[in-house]
Structure 1
Amino acid sequence: MAGLPPQRDQQPPGYAGQTGGPGAQTGLAAQQPGRPSAPGVRPHFGGGFAQAPSGPLGRLPGGSGGLPEGLPGGPPPQGPGAGAPLRPPYPGAGGPASYGGAQQPGVRPPGAPVANGGPAMRSSYSGEQPRGLAPAGGGGGPPQPRAPPTFGQAPPPPGMFQPGGAQAPGFGAPGQAPAPGFLGAGGYSDAAAQAVLDHFEGLQLGPAAPGQPDPSSDPAYLPRPAGPEAEAAARPTPPYHKGNCDPRFIRLTTNAVPAQQSLRARFQLPLGAIVHPLADPQEDVPVIQLGPAGIVRCKRCRTYINPFMAWQDGGRRFLCNVCGCANDTPLEFQCALGPDGQRLDVQEHSEMACGSVEYIAPQEYMVRPPMPPAFFFVIDVSQAAVASGVLAHVCRAIRASLDRLPGGERTRVGFLTFDTALHFYNLKAGLSQPQMMVVAELSEPFVPLPDDLLVNLAESRGVVEALLDSLPSTFAVNTSVESAMGPALQAAFMVVSPIGGKLLLFQSAVPSLGVGRVKQRDNGALWGTDAEPKLRQPDDSFWKKYAAECSRVQIAIDVFIFCPSFIDVASFGALSRYTCGQLYYYPGFHPDRDGARVEAEVRHNLTRTTGWEAVMRIRCSKGLRISAFHGHFFIRSTDLLALPQVDPDKAFAVQVAHEEGVLTTSAAYMQCALLYTSSSGERRIRVHTVAFPVVQDVNELFRATDAAATAALLAKLAVEKSYSSKLDETRAAIQHKLSMALKEFRVMHAAASRGNLPHHQLIYPPSLRYLPVWTLGIMKSTALRGGKEVVTDERAAVGLEVMAASVPQLLRLLYPALYPVHDPAGDWGRPGPDGRVRLPPTVPLTGAYMSDAGAYLLDSGRIFVLWLGKRVPKDFISQVFAVDVSRPIPDNQVLKVEPALPGLELSARINAVLGRLRDQRGNYPTCFVVRQGTPPEQHVLPYLVEDRGLGTPSYQDFAVMLHRAVLSKA
């Protein structure tokens, strides 16, 4: 198919993309020979199911029908090692009710025959039945499953011990009632049978001893952030103090800090925070108009006054909570103290009552007058940009955003287009049409007109609109396939550098002329070698040097890439990474599929809240220090981050280390100060402060851990490590961190219980309940998964997203949401009392929970996938797509779920859910329709985190691997 990227043509034997051959099967829910399954229940993905060969569904034309050219398409293999079918974990989990019917597909009613006349379903592990599944009457009959807990209230995995509470029901739960019919007709009483079980449970037979269940042998008990648990899993830990800032701004990985460095060494997990200074708060951040005293700060460490300052000498002095220095209170700021030692006017001063405030900065905080918002558009107009429709969509999006550009009467704009030459545009007010000036010199580009290239938008609005309207037609017959991107960037720098601003680069063709031209270095032979990490780094020193110069003069760079072939996104990424910019990647751009996404994301980029010429510093209490920063920025000094622009789509990560061996205070503090220019021209300082206790016990650290923030920091650390290490080493490193933390917890708990822990039980603190599956999600993410089966450019693009993402964004990337949308019952898709559209409850990310008679909407944070089972009711198809269902739909027919079709309620409800999911996001995910059994279905597999893939374990396997690592002596 024209315009689509070339794909890998070498696949290992038995790869999922292989067609034909022995044991080939089609569809996610294909039945394995000799393995019975209940009607409509999709078996668990076992070994042999591979990851998608090319990565994103963004390469699929419409997300349905035939596979794009060059992609190997076909069924996953089957044979020895393939996973066994999985019984429904409990009634109702196999799939929601079918459209218009009461019967639940995927759940076998009591007494109903099993599919194909096979035996009743058993445990997913070979031959062995978990305790609680035993033949009624002592043998012969089918197993009677014990009723597990309601979904969303599942206890820890079977055999997992949760300290501080009763043993969770599951395998080996002391005192648990036997399953119905357990030895009911035998010679033993229930009490005697239970006594035998209790004695058996006390035998420490080791992790692989016969008769002992694996720690995760029943997937119903695996903790996963789905269903009613999803919201609680992502919720931050309650604040330590009411004066703390909103966790949206600073979210600590552990809401405590060890008193001794030796305790920190035992903890193993990273200690730090995700800092999101311009996150959208639930309430507005108070803005402080300065009084006669100005901004009150510590004279030694320059910490801003906050709710945790201690007042002395009747309010005439205050003690800095960060460095402990005693400061004189300015006379104009003094106030008497109450009996509790606090000032009587606390509620009159937001800076002493709120954890987040914003100051209007005085003159001494400016090195020059505040810069106006400036947008300079650098647009590729080569044949690739014109033929694909990119140029038309970009011009339309920019024109639609002109009224909403921040800055009002101060906003400036400019344009430069390029192919084999550079085209400048005189946009001087008063001209009836823009004037084009062509510069063919590429080795030393120059600016032909010193003024009127970056103009005031309000004064030159008519000329700017005329240019945007004429660009698509001006280059409509352009046949040039070359691209002089590097010289265009050099020329743009000369135009914008006097005042600073934002460069927006729109690139459609591979840069081939002048500095910055891209080399074809996507060599599959490098994977697995020491040279592999170089593929994730810039190829030429030009990229970093140019980005550093832009940061110095307050220029941020946002990059939009539309090239269908290898374009070296890792090199382009340096432009956005070091200037606090953003990279958008549209592989295989197709106007019908991606046009709405491009226009929405360009509009959002141009109109979002933006801070200009910013710097940020993060301070810690005495005895602690910020040891590392992660994100999109340039470090100007040891602890000062230069941010030419900052916006709500940028979050940063920091790691905290001990500077002294022992902390002597009872609490520690962190303060983030962001100095920036608002779009209205005010110099502002946004200050966020958080307090957290100093603890003397590692167990308290585990209890205070925020697993979601820890997973986000681990993901950023993993991506950064991948820039210098092989992917295998990176994945092993994060898995090692998790296993060492769980080992420390087990050792600590075993010592407390005098070594009386059964070996077959994997234990973990409740605070880390979901960290294993999120860690598995990191390992399976596009940024870190596999090797050659993920396109190099796609891996680099996702890695950049991870480095800039906030905690909620990263959680969606690591464990996508899967919504069943085939059942019209309920209120999903309709407005709730708060006016927001209700969402369906999510189900776990495994094929075992997906019915082939259902439809599921997958939200990965980057794309939407509407998956349709083979037996999805025809009423559903007609209600969502308005197609003729009287005859089979061809595999190559493209189905589109958007826009909503008039008069079709189910279509409107699904579109309403899509709108709700896109709400308040910086990106605009495209929705693809994928039908079970068609080749594009292979692209869905990597998103099912809990299932086994090519070189990656299932969730159950990963739990077993963790358990073995915890018990190892290494």
Structure 2
Amino acid sequence: MSIQEGQNWSQLPNLDVQNRDQAIVNPSDIEENSNAEPYYEESVYQKLVRPCNRYDEFMGKFTANGSMPPPCLAQYFVKEQKVSNPRFLRFTCTNCSLNENIQYNIGIPLGAIWQPFAELSPEDDKVPLIEREPLRCTNCLAYMNAHFKFSNNDFKCNICGYVQKYSKEYFKSQGSFPEFSRGTYKYLISKELQGSIDKNIYYLVCIDITNFSLGLGVYQQVLSSIRDILNYIPNPEIVKIGIITYDSFLHFFSLNNSPESIQEVIVSDENDLFIPFHFSSLCYNAQTEKEKIENLIDSLLGWEFSEISKNTLPVATIIDLVKNHFKGDAACRLLLFSSKAESLKTEKLNYLGSLEEFIRLGKECTENSLCVDLFLFSNSVDISSLATLSSQTGGDIYYYPKYLSKYDGEKLYYQLLRIFTRPQVFDANMRIRCSIKMAIDDCIGNFIKKSPVEMQVAAIDSDKSIGIMLKYDGVLVENEKVYLQCAILYRNNLGQKILRIYNGLMIADENSKFTHTEYGDLDTINNILVKKYAKMMFEKQLQNVKSDWYNFIYRVTNYYGWVISGAGSDVLKPHFVDMLPLFYNTANKLAGLSFNQSISDDIRLVSSFSLYSISSSKLRLLLYPNIYKLHDIMAQPRLPGTASSSTTIYLPDTVPCKRESLSPEGVYLLANGDIIVIFIGKNAPEEFLIKLFGKPLDQLSKEEIDIKNIGTEESERISLIINESRIKNPNGIPPLYFYLEEKDNYELIKQFMVEDQNGNETSYELFVENINSLVQYYED
């Protein structure tokens, strides 16, 4: 089904909202399209609820006016009507209960996911820029928005309810003001407040050159990746890139117009480390000095370092040095690569490695506009300390405990590409306000919390989201509106100071225990729960965290069983209630939340920290990946691999995320947001493989296996399917791998089999049986 131009998605009369996100393929359909025996149990498939992440139908226009938004992975465009685009701000429910007790029983956590710089579709309303001072409430300092109530010369603030005067001149012009019709808008801060900061964006790449790093191929991969990425950097005229290498010394490089003129400066005094160049001379412009950067990289790729030390400088020491060098005079993103675990745990210079010192350093980096991305290549790392440096500054940790250049090189390349090309801003200060009778309970994300409602971060990009937890501060009345306003002051990629405002609302509903069939947003509920329990990991033992989450699932399931049994057949169980057990089960198989004792503490911590700022779209694929059938695309009625009227490529049928779904005779595409894998069954038809690869599989080496258009319809369609999956992937282009059944390591595809038992974590089927048995036991 598609939506016609101008039609609101949430108002379609024949759309079953409860099942808008549920798989519609059934076993009988699959049997008709395949001669193979079913490779899963039909009864199991029929009784278990699964999501459908495949949204290849363009859904048309959605009007952001407080109504239920489409799923986060759906294809649609947004026109704002006094409420922010749901890509920016989504609530767990569009209607809330009148008081805390009812909301607690309903089971929907009250909150919102705020993704301030989410990437928009080309047809979305763009955020308008206003070049005048914003009008604010003099009581709570909320910003003017479409929900202020005007009468005569007064206006009433929708956040605090305060009534105040305003000028007649302002009233005469307000009809044309974007803040009276839109939910999201931005103000250009006056020149007097812009400051004199360097308007360039600096990327400083700092690479470990120990023998271990060189042997892994990290040094070569990073340099060659950056050389290629130079061709894709947006706004290269304001981007400057510098490269430093280090072991126990610091190595700086300067050159003029040719590789022969390169000059190496080594700083070897560990007790008096310094950067010998001003940062404007250390880094080169990505547009006007692109050739210099290329010459430098070409020289470094063939550079012979003399007397490389076995030890390296401590990570914290290098970060502190860069922070003191920039001193907040320019926005800088530091990409630091380290492969020596011992250097992270035996800090002999400025830092002893205590958590308090790392927290202090992270705060100082944020105050000095330094964002830190850490790339770590060792089996054992002090993640608990280092993670604070990235999480407080808005950066990320990329952990490769067993880095293999042949396997991980492509993944590293695309991670670097994403860092250099995604939308991002610097020097961000955030403030959240909500209307009376509600309060901000907590905010979860990558930032420094200055107060319960104020946050600061050195940089924030389009992939980062913030979880906002709300709580009741009074009793609402029927149809009362609850408002949320989020503001962020930042410096954009043109060096301008900008203030962005986001507005959202919920409506109090006395019958919410019945109407939540329509009003619960599964994507946002999931993200809020995952963020909440990931944070709880650092406050309680894992056993207690999982127990709290399990009790929540039981309570909600039991409550709706009671409501439905008492109300009769007219009330349907809300869709999000059906899905909660699945996402609880799959979330608890993530490294950060799993009981699996084979998972190292470092991997567990990296996983937990990544959940703090994960977007809803990426989380959805991580918790329940897509597994597409490729081997029978010519027989599938939707004609996968062909374009719809909106040029969207139709995608193949999906199968459940369990190992028994993958037939030995099949070929599948597996996608979880991080990577894409082409699974080739051991008995896959040779005729199909020849049409796909041009030769029988046994005549191709692993390096020669690739899918491209070789002139057959199968290869053309599957090439388009792969390309569509990569382009539409949340958070950038994922690397592509090939998996040959019984020849390659099962660990590659194990992460996709989220329904299967994983260590001590039960299978989805068994978990649903257990939770239903428990509910039935207490009912009896």
TM interval, shorter chain, is: 0.7 to 0.9
The 8 Å contact of residues 261 and 662 in structure 1, kept in 2 or not, is answered as no
Residue 819 of structure 1 deviates from its aligned partner by 0.3
The one-letter code of the counterpart of 1:578 is: Q
Distance in 1 (CA, whole Å) between partners of 2:257 and 2:346 is 34
Q: Is the 8 A contact 2:146 2:180 kept in 1?
A: yes
State whether structure 2 residue 675 is matched by structure 1 residue 846.
no
Rate the CA distance shift 1:573–1:912 in 2: closer, same or farther, 3 A.
farther
TM-score, structure 1 length as denominator? 0.69
2:303 counterpart of 1:464: no
Say which SS state the counterpart of residue 357 (structure 1) adopts: strand
Q: What is the aligned partner in structure 1 of residue 488 from structure 2?
A: 674
Q: Post-superposition shift, 1:416?
A: 2.1
Q: Is the 1:92–1:107 Cα contact (8 Å) retained in structure 2? A: no
Q: Specify the alignment match of 2:324 in structure 1.
A: 494
Corresponding residue for 1:932?
Answer: 741
Letter in 1 for 2:457: L
Taking the aligned partners of 2:56 and 2:766, their CA distance within structure 1 comes to: 22
1:445 and 2:273 matched: yes
Distance 2:308 2:77 in 1: 60
Structure 2 match to 1:105: 36
1:287 is matched with: 128
Q: 1:335 to 1:938 in 2, by over 3 A?
A: same
| Amino acid of the structure 2 residue aligned with 1:918 | R
Which of 313, 325, 330 is equivalent to 1:484? Answer: 313
Kindly report which structure 2 residues correspond to 1:506-521, keeping only aligned pairs within 5 A, or say none. 506-513=336-343, 517=347
What is the distance in 1 between the residues matched to 2:187 and 2:279? 35
Separation in 2 of the partners of 1:469 and 1:574? 34
Equivalent residue for 2:362?
547
Distance between the aligned counterparts of 1:459 and 1:855, measured in 2?
47
Shift of 1:856: 1.4
Gaps of 5+ in 2: 1-24, 58-69
Q: Distance in 2 between matches of 1:240 and 1:775?
A: 34
Q: Which residue of 1 aligns with 2:145?
A: 306
1:91 is matched with 28
Alignment of 1:705-744 (within 5 A): 705-744=520-559
* 1:503 to 2:333 alignment: yes
Query: Equivalent residue for 2:112?
Result: 273
Report 1:357-372 matches (<5 A): 357-363=185-191, 366=194, 369=197, 371-372=199-200
C-alpha RMSD of the superposition: 3.5
Does residue 809 (structure 1) correspond to residue 618 (structure 2)? The answer is: yes
Displacement of 1:432 after TM fit?
A: 7.2
For 1:789-830, what per-residue CA distance to the aligned partner results, in whole angstroms no more than 9, with x for missing partners?
Answer: 334433333333322221111000000101001124053234
From the superposition, tell whether residues 947 and 402 of structure 1 become closer, same or farther in structure 2 (CA, over 3 Å). closer
Q: Distance in 2 between matches of 1:327 and 1:898?
A: 67
Q: Does 1:219 find its partner at 2:45?
A: yes
Which residue is equivalent to 1:326?
Answer: 163
Q: TM-score of the superposition, structure 2-length normalised? A: 0.85
Q: Is the 8 A contact 2:366 2:393 kept in 1?
A: yes
Q: How far apart are residue 96 of structure 1 and its match?
A: 4.7
Structure 2 counterpart SS, 1:244: coil
Task: Confirm or deny: 8 A CA contact 2:441 2:452 kept in the other structure.
Answer: no
* Residues 443 and 675 of structure 1: CA distance in aligned 2, closer, same or farther (over 3 Å): same
Aligned to 1:578: 392
Q: How does 1:55-204 map to 2 (within 5 A)?
A: 90-93=27-30, 96-97=33-34, 104-107=35-38
TM superposition shift of 1:672: 1.2
Aligned-pair CA distance for 1:371: 4.3
User: 1:443 Cα shift?
Assistant: 4.3
Letter in 2 for 1:496: F
Q: Give the secondary-structure state (helix, strand or coil) at the position aligned to 2:185.
A: strand
Which structure: larger Rg?
1
1:763–1:690: structure 2 CA closer, same or farther, 3 Å change rule?
A: closer
Which amino acid letter does the alignment assign opposite residue 606 of structure 2?
A
Q: Which position in structure 2 is the counterpart of 1:798?
A: 607
> How far, CA to CA, are the matches of 2:224 and 2:251 in structure 1?
19
Q: Which one-letter code corresponds to 1:846 in the other structure?
A: K
Which of residues 91, 96, 99 is equivalent to 1:252?
Answer: 91
Could you tell me how far 1:729 is from its partner in structure 2?
2.9
Does the 8 Å CA contact 2:440/2:452 hold for their aligned counterparts? no
* Cα distance in 1, alignment partners of residues 651 and 79 from structure 2: 32
Equivalent runs, 1:586-625 vs 2, <5 Å: 586-625=400-439
Instruction: Report whether the alignment pairs 1:415 with 2:243.
Output: yes
How far apart, in 2, do the equivalents of 1:932 and 1:633 lie? Answer: 43
| Aligned partner letter, 1:295 | P
- Aligned partners of 1:287 and 1:360 also within 8 Å: no
For 1:515 and 1:615, how far apart are their aligned partners in 2? 32
State the secondary structure of the residue aligned to 2:29.
Answer: coil
Query: Which structure features the higher share of helix residues?
Result: 2
Structure 1 CA distance, aligned partners of 2:165 and 2:260? 63
Secondary structure of the structure 1 residue equivalent to 2:745 = helix
Post-superposition offset of 1:656? 0.3
Paired residues for 1:238-249 under 5 Å: 242-249=81-88
Matched, 1:860 2:669: no
Structure 1 distance, partners of 2:415, 2:89, is: 26
Aligned-pair identity (%) = 22
Which amino acid letter does the alignment assign opposite residue 329 of structure 2? Answer: I
Shift of 1:451: 6.2
Larger RCO (alpha carbons 8 Å, 6+ apart): 1
State which drifts further: 821-830 or 273-282.
Answer: 821-830
Please list the CA deviations of residues 30-82 of structure 1 after superposition, one character each: whole Å capped at 9, or x if unmatched.
Answer: xxxxxxxxxxxxxxxxxxxxxxxxxxxxxxxxxxxxxxxxxxxxxxxxxxxxx
Output the amino acid matched with 2:674. R
Alignment of 1:415-434 (within 5 A): 415-426=243-254, 433-434=261-262
- What is the alpha-carbon distance in structure 1 between the residues aligned to residue 489 and residue 509 of structure 2? 33
CA distance in 1, matches of 2:366, 2:354: 20
User: Which amino acid is 1:936 matched to?
Assistant: N
Q: Give distance in 2, aligned partners of 1:470 and 1:95.
A: 60
Letter of the 2:490 counterpart: Y
- In the TM superposition, 1:685-764 aligns within 5 A as 685-700=499-514, 702-703=516-517, 704-752=519-567, 764=573
Aligned AA (2:679): W
TM-aligned CA deviation for residue 369 of structure 1 = 4.6
SS in 2 for 1:770: helix
Distance 2:98 2:358 in 1: 43
Q: Secondary structure, in 3 states, of the residue corresponding to 2:213?
A: helix
- Please say which of residues 952-961 and 921-930 is displaced more in the overlay: 921-930
Distance in 2 separating the partners of 1:464 and 1:637: 42
Aligned position for 1:355: 183
Compute the displacement of 1:942 (Å). Answer: 4.4
DSSP-derived class of the 2:430 partner: strand
Sort the Cα spacing of 1:810 and 1:475 in 2 relative to 1 into closer, same or farther, 3 A: farther
**Offset, 1:630:** 0.9
Structure 1 distance, partners of 2:279, 2:466, is: 37
Which residue type is aligned with residue 375 of structure 2? F
1:15 is aligned to: none
Task: Tell me the CA shift for residue 904 of structure 1.
Answer: 5.5
CA distance in 1, matches of 2:732, 2:384: 20
The 8 Å contact of residues 96 and 854 in structure 1, kept in 2 or not, is answered as no
Partner of 2:67: none
Q: Of the candidates 910, 914, 924, which is equivalent to residue 718 of structure 2?
A: 910
Deviation at 1:646, TM superposition (A): 1.4
Q: Is the CA contact 1:432–1:463 (under 8 Å) kept in the aligned structure 2?
A: no
8 Å CA contact 1:502, 1:555 repeated in 2? yes
* Cα displacement (A) at 1:382: 1.7
Q: Which runs of 5+ in 1 are unaligned?
A: 1-87, 98-103, 109-120, 125-147, 149-216, 337-344, 519-537
Q: 1:230: Cα distance to partner?
A: 9.7
Q: Distance in 2 between matches of 1:869 and 1:235?
A: 29
Separation in 1 of the partners of 2:228 and 2:77? 42
* 3-state secondary structure, aligned to 2:126: coil
Does the C-alpha gap of structure 1 residues 856 and 829 become closer, same or farther in structure 2, counting only changes over 3 Å?
same
